[in-house]
Structure 1
Amino acid sequence: MEICVYEGYDEMSKQSAEMIIKAVNEKPDGLLCIAAGSTPTGTLRYLVQEVKRNRVDFSKCKFVGLDEWVGMDRHDEGSCQHYLYSEFFDVLNINQENIHFFDAKAEDLEGECKKTDEFIVEHGPINVCLLGLGMNGHLALNEPGISFELSSHVVDLDNTTKKVGQKYFNEVTELSKGITLGCQQFLHAELVMLQVNGSKKSEIVKKLIENDVTTKLPGTILKKHQNSFLLLDEEAAEILPL
């Protein structure tokens, strides 16, 4: 895992976007997986800007959802899908047929996992996977203690995730389960980008770098990936001995 430290969030976002632009221009019909949340916002907005400048075209790309809160869909404000549609898919008028998300409101969630695994097999491997790191070290909703051998699966949320997740909602919202891609799917991706920003994440970044691969800190699995990048702003890297 290559570590890249940038001067500020904006520069990290820009350089992350440039990596995605390069990958998409090399394979215009590739499969992309993009995290929701506050961290990727700058990257997505830069990508939208560069689409308008004709530097990149996502119209032939396929997209697979990374994760979702069980019981929510794109119409629920605070959901992963709502964020991605608002910031990216709707802005660029991405064809709905090119987008596959978990239906986290479905009765058969295991069936949704199977559908997603099959979508990745059909259109994959994932060419670009843009991830964030949780305060507890999770990747997507792969919580501490989860098996690294899993593909898509349903998970009981860690207490830290339940607490931190409230920031996406206007009122207190019950969060108990998630549905997510598994670490095996990240390991099989061609390019994995792990973005982390802000001093609040500096401690978990330090643990990520100092620890060997362990399920106690799921983010460490990316140390086994041959083409993974840890993209940090200066605040997230502020206590690293770099």
Structure 2
Amino acid sequence: MRLIIRQDPESVAYYTANYIKQRILEFNPTAERPFVLGLPTGSSPITVYRHLVEFNRKKEISFQHVVTFNMDEYVGLPRDHPESYHSFMFNHLFKHIDINPKNIHILNGCAEELDKECTRYEEEIKKVGGIELFLGGIGPDGHIAFNEPGSSMNSRTRVKTLAYETVLANARFFGGDVNKVPKLALTVGVGTVMDAREVIVIITGAHKAIALNKCIEEGVNHMWTVSAIQMHPSAMIVCDEDATLELHVKTVRYFKSIEQVQEQLIGRDNIGLKGSISSLSKMNQDNNPHYNYSIQ
């Protein structure tokens, strides 16, 4: 697992958006071989989406051959409700980029049979060959999507009852009225996220520092579902300085030192997007012909 530390939320958002842009360009998607992207809602990704929209406006990237799957949706809110995650995604991203509407997948929280809707969603992911990169944010209690504390690490897309703390936190989007906040949601499972070939989680703010600590310095724990990414073969957390406040100083220095070595001693040109090192400069190869390894 990689931990990338940036100064502030804006720097985190730009790094993440630029990384996604570079991954899509490197993948070089086509209609027959689309880039499949998992996406979150919430406050964390808004600035990421703003940068992606700007990249698209400047024609630095196209989303014509990108297929998306969103993490979750409230149960009972129609698509056109201003607080539905369908509205959120179109307002912040989809209506501003050149994505084909047929390539957008968002759970239907008003489906007549919710269990069948969840099964259908998992099948749709399989039809396109699985998710290439899943972007996620977390709550202060370490939940990813609506996989709140106690969720199974092998869970799949399902109906989930929201914790009271989550309902209270989301009341600000419903005029402060707890009674207007949906109490159920459809969400991809922890297992669904972990099936992606790559997972990126953005964590910003001192209020999420304990969650980052639990994820980085403690073991896998279903009470902190984001900790599941410790088991993923290609996972990266991008955080700001405030989010590291509960980490040991030596932990922060360790992850920063890895970036320093990569940038200053190995050279960015020799390192792939995921941190893999497939070749070094000719000078280093001459000195040691056996360089061929990955930094995790």
Give the structure-1-normalised TM-score.
0.95
Query: In structure 1, what is the equivalent of residue 12 of structure 2?
Result: 12
Decide which of 189, 210, 214 is 2:217's aligned counterpart.
210
AA at the equivalent of 2:17: A
What residue in structure 2 maps to residue 221 of structure 1? 228
Aligned position for 2:202: 195
Deviates more, 1:166-175 or 1:206-215: 166-175
Aligned 8 A contact 1:136 1:160 in 2 = no
Which amino acid in 1 is paired with 2:68? F
> How many residue pairs align between the two structures?
242
Higher radius of gyration, 1 or 2: 2
Q: Once structures 1 and 2 are overlaid, which stretch shifts more, 226-235 or 167-176?
A: 167-176
Q: Secondary structure at the match of 1:57?
A: coil
Secondary structure at the residue paired with 2:107? coil
Q: CA RMSD in A?
A: 1.4
Q: Write out per-residue CA displacement over residues 153-196 of structure 1, whole angstroms, 9 at most, x where no aligned residue.
A: 11111122112122333342233111111111211111111111
8 Å contact 1:213–1:220 — kept in the other structure?
Answer: yes
In 1: Cα distance, 2:81 partner to 2:53 partner: 23
Instruction: Report the counterpart of residue 3 of structure 1 in structure 2.
Output: 3
Deviations 1:69-128 (A, max 9, x none): 111243112222211110100111532211111110112001110110111000131111
- Given that 2:76 and 2:182 are in contact with CA atoms closer than 8 Å, whether structure 1 keeps it comes out as no
The answer on whether the counterparts of 2:75 and 2:110 sit within 8 Å (CA) in structure 1 is: yes
Following superposition, the deviation at residue 210 of structure 1 comes to: 2.6
Superposition pairs of residues 9-88 of structure 1, within 5 angstroms: 9-27=9-27, 28=29, 29-88=34-93
- Whether the aligned pair in 2 keeps the contact of 1:67 and 1:180 (CA below 8 Å) is yes
Whole-Å separation in 1 of the counterparts to 2:112 and 2:206: 40
TM-score computed with the length of structure 2 as normaliser: 0.78
Equivalent residue number for residue 103 of structure 2: 98
- Letter of the structure 2 residue corresponding to residue 213 of structure 1: V
Unaligned runs of 5+ in 2: 253-296
Aligned partner of 2:235: which letter? S
The residue number in structure 2 matching 1:236 is 243
The equivalent position to 2:140 in structure 1, one of 121, 135, 140, is: 135
Contact 2:63–2:98 (Cα < 8 Å) also in 1: no
Q: Deviations over 1:182-229 (max 9, x none)?
A: 111211111111111111111222222232111111111010001111
Alpha-carbon separation, structure 1, partners of 2:93 and 2:232? 27
Q: Does 1:178 align with 2:215?
A: no
Measure how far apart 1:53 and its partner are.
1.8
Report % sequence identity.
Answer: 26
C-alpha contact (below 8 Å) 1:143/1:158 kept by paired residues? yes
Higher helix share: 2
